A and B are shown apart, each in its own frame.
Chain A
Amino acid sequence: MKALTLTLKAAPAQRVDLAPITPEKLRGKKAAEIGRIRLQCGNRTVAVAELFAVTAGNCEEIVIRRCTGKFDNVGAGMTCGSIAVHGNTGHRTGAQMAGGTLTVRGSTLDWAGTGMAGGTLVIHGDTGRCLGAAWPGDAQGMRNGTIIVCGNAGERVGDKMRRGAIVIEGNAGDYCGARMIAGSILVCGKAGDFIGYSMKRGSILLTRVPRLPATFNDCGTFEFGFLPLLLRSLGRLSHRAAALSKRASARAQRYAGDLANVGKGELLVLR
């Protein structure tokens, strides 16, 4: 059975909350029923069918075509199945998702994967600020799962991240891995300033030495047994990680920090 497909008819004037469109929330619903679901649009609601042409199909596999940055909460809270988005998405793409695969063949705005607890989020373009970060008021950011960004990411990648892995194939903005509690971040391009600001534990993998904060200490170059394993597993989802796993040795320069906090985190610059 082919995928359930929503094709945008005309760009909405206001922001639209797409959280009701996930495999588990649509399970067992017919196309007409899905068309009647109300979506918050600005300060009023509209029916799915007003915005999208709905083509019946398997609800476990949703395709959204011609999506734009006006659509927030795409795939938010999804726990299973897959959503493939052709076009861009707005804020909170894949927020709190706990399972399944969300693929955006375009770019997202801020807060993608915030509070994510599982599953895989792949963004083919760029992403905004606070990727996999903690939503304001929350004690933890991303708690598990994998995020791949093929383009660049904005500031505060993985803020208060607790577990899981984030791969940025391009560049990452300032405060990458700020207040990280644990988990892994790989930045294949350049990372901005204040990297690992106040991080407690966790690993930030880099391909070049960033501008180092004063509270990170150079520990020298070591052989890390886990590096080839980690890169190979990430390489299943990311070409750049795959390339690195072939090229890089298991050696990395280690900088420990943030010594202004617990200081058990590390920046590993691959050699």
Chain B
Amino acid sequence: MLIKLTGGTVYDPMHGVDGQVRDIYVRDGRVVSSPPADQRIDEEYDLRGKVVMAGAIDPHSHIGGGKVNIARTLLPEDHRPHPIPRTALTRSGTGRAAPSSITTGYRYAEMGYTAVFEPAMLPANSRQAHMELADTPIIDKGAYVMLGSDDYLLRMMAAGKTQAEINDYIAYTIVAAQAVAVKVVNPGGISAFKFNQRNLDLDEKNSYYGVTPRQILQTLARGVKELGIPHPLHIHGCNLGVPGNVQTTLDTITGVEGLPIHLTHIQFHSYGTEGDKKFSSGAAQIAEAINRHKHVSADVGQIMFGQTVTASGDNMAQFRNRGFATPNKWVCMDIECDAGCGVVPFRYRDQNFVNALQWAIGLEIFLLVEDPWRVFLTTDHPNGAPFTSYPHLIRLLMDKSFRDANFERLHPEAQAMSTLKSVQREYSLYEIAIMTRAAPSRSLGLGDRGHLGVGAAADITVYTPHGDRERMFEKPDYVFKDGTPVARNGRIVRVTDGGTHTLRPGFDKAVLKPLRAYFEQFHTMRLENFCVSDEEIVNDGRGRIIVNQLRAGSRG
């Protein structure tokens, strides 16, 4: 089947294509070069006057795993008033901040997203996470496995194991959990919380293992690099949400000896202590540091005003924030000594000084980081806001007058503390295409995704240009997933099943012996049951495993 997409204005940053009118040909789910003139075209779409981009990729969105289910259970308020009836094509669901997994897949696809990554999968929870992702239709999925507060790694570090031995453990965990990257959350801090530590600074020791966050970051970042994992270590740093944490974040950037790192939801880590209320924006310093250090990338974790729920592995930060719970209920828990989990419902208000400044800080970072290849568009769904607010966020980035109008509605003292209004920058469509397509694809090593070159997977989104960018990005005209039209004018027209991105780094089988002994002695399951098999994900053809390439030069 040969499809022709005729005359669209194409934005494909991976190939430097910035708004050129082109025809795109798709055969059997892939972009192909233009066929001979006598070739029969099976289907043609007239895209003259339309904007064409690759399908969008969300590199950080909590859409699976235990904590999302806890958020759903905790908040009947989120699903009772928001039922989503079934249609002839789609199934029913509920919820806005933590929607049903099925609804999540539909909403992402309707917005032109074709791949979404769950960033906080505990090894012990990976089976549940993958089952939930399997219930998320249309889009491709992938998950980052969480290490850094797990008992086994901390034991290894405390015992002075070599980097090579730790690398084997990291590689084994990636394979066993079917992950595509490694994340660390409050390195060592989730563990320290269980030993009654309520803060853990970069160079403070976990009181039980005697290991510092800096050591954990260095060990994991080095392991990720040496194993050839495409995505740098995905770091949710120390001191999330604490005024003054801008210094911790700057120290993290300079403290990893130039190893590649990705700082996630960096907005929550960019707070100073200036001003009467001892809370100020550290965005300028953070942006300046990112601009200077080319080994660092970040996603923002923009907040939006309204009701949401925060769900994080960082039980230390979530315990600190429990007083802000709206409605007033929260959960903090340990999970299998692997990590923890905290769920705190939250309502961000524009007339609250701190929330208003958080909003401004996020936008300042977006606009002050010069290189869109190293800053990705996220709201840390659902922590900063539900992912459905992305079109609104894109408009804030692309439209200064709209941004200023919103800014002027903020708490007046927050306005006085922000330089946002003096920032003239407006993102271009090309830059939006970089930060929502090309850059996440390149960073995650997705190969044939996030671009429209010959051989690329035909994940394609078509928009009608509109002065109101929110309207434009809310309801794309067409969304193609692997060449199949799945959405039209923001409505699902075909429900398909996406694949799961994974990696297969090599490891020395010697790692299994002590691990097996450890599982026998301490765990609630056996090592064999801990591994998620390919068959479980493939599930008689409903799912598909995509094995991505390791970075060249690694030992995989």
Question: A-side interface residues toward B, CB under 8 Å?
Answer: 135-139
Contacts and interface: CB of A to CB of B under 8 A. Distances in A.
Interface string B305-329: 0000000000000000000000001
The 5 A-B residue pairs whose C-beta atoms are closest, nearest first, are A137-B76, A139-B329, A138-B76, A137-B73, A136-B76
5 contacts: A135-B76, A137-B73, A137-B76, A138-B76, A139-B329
B255 to A, nearest CB: 43
Contacts of B76: 135-138
A196 B76 CA distance: 26
Nearest to B75: A137
Contacts of A136: 76
B345 to A, nearest CB: 12
Nearest to A138: B76
B327 to A, nearest CB: 8
Interface of B: 73, 76, 329
A137 B329 CA distance: 11
Contacts of A139: 329
A71 B76 CA distance: 24
B88 to A, nearest CB: 14
A137 B73 CA distance: 7
Most buried by B among A135, A137, A138, A139: A137
Contacts of B73: 137
Contacts of A135: 76
A42 to B, nearest CB: 15
A31 B522 CA distance: 70
A43 to B, nearest CB: 10
A139 B76 CA distance: 10
A135 B80 CA distance: 11
A136 B76 CA distance: 9
B95 to A, nearest CB: 12
B115 to A, nearest CB: 32
Contacts of A138: 76
A12 to B, nearest CB: 21
A81 B73 CA distance: 35
A150 B76 CA distance: 33
A138 B74 CA distance: 9
A66 to B, nearest CB: 31
Nearest to A137: B76
A65 to B, nearest CB: 31
B77 to A, nearest CB: 8
B169 to A, nearest CB: 40
B53 to A, nearest CB: 40
A138 B79 CA distance: 12
Contacts of B329: 139
Nearest to A135: B76
A11 B73 CA distance: 37
A262 B76 CA distance: 26
B204 to A, nearest CB: 36
B358 to A, nearest CB: 28
A138 B328 CA distance: 12
Nearest to B77: A137
A179 to B, nearest CB: 15
A139 B73 CA distance: 12
B74 to A, nearest CB: 8
A117 to B, nearest CB: 15
B72 to A, nearest CB: 10
A136 B79 CA distance: 13
A23 to B, nearest CB: 23
A147 to B, nearest CB: 23
A111 to B, nearest CB: 14
Nearest to A136: B76
A139 B329 CA distance: 9
A137 B79 CA distance: 11
A94 to B, nearest CB: 18
A135 B79 CA distance: 14
A184 B73 CA distance: 29
Contacts of A137: 73, 76
B80 to A, nearest CB: 8
A138 B76 CA distance: 7
B57 to A, nearest CB: 34
A77 to B, nearest CB: 13
A136 to B, nearest CB: 8
Nearest to B79: A137
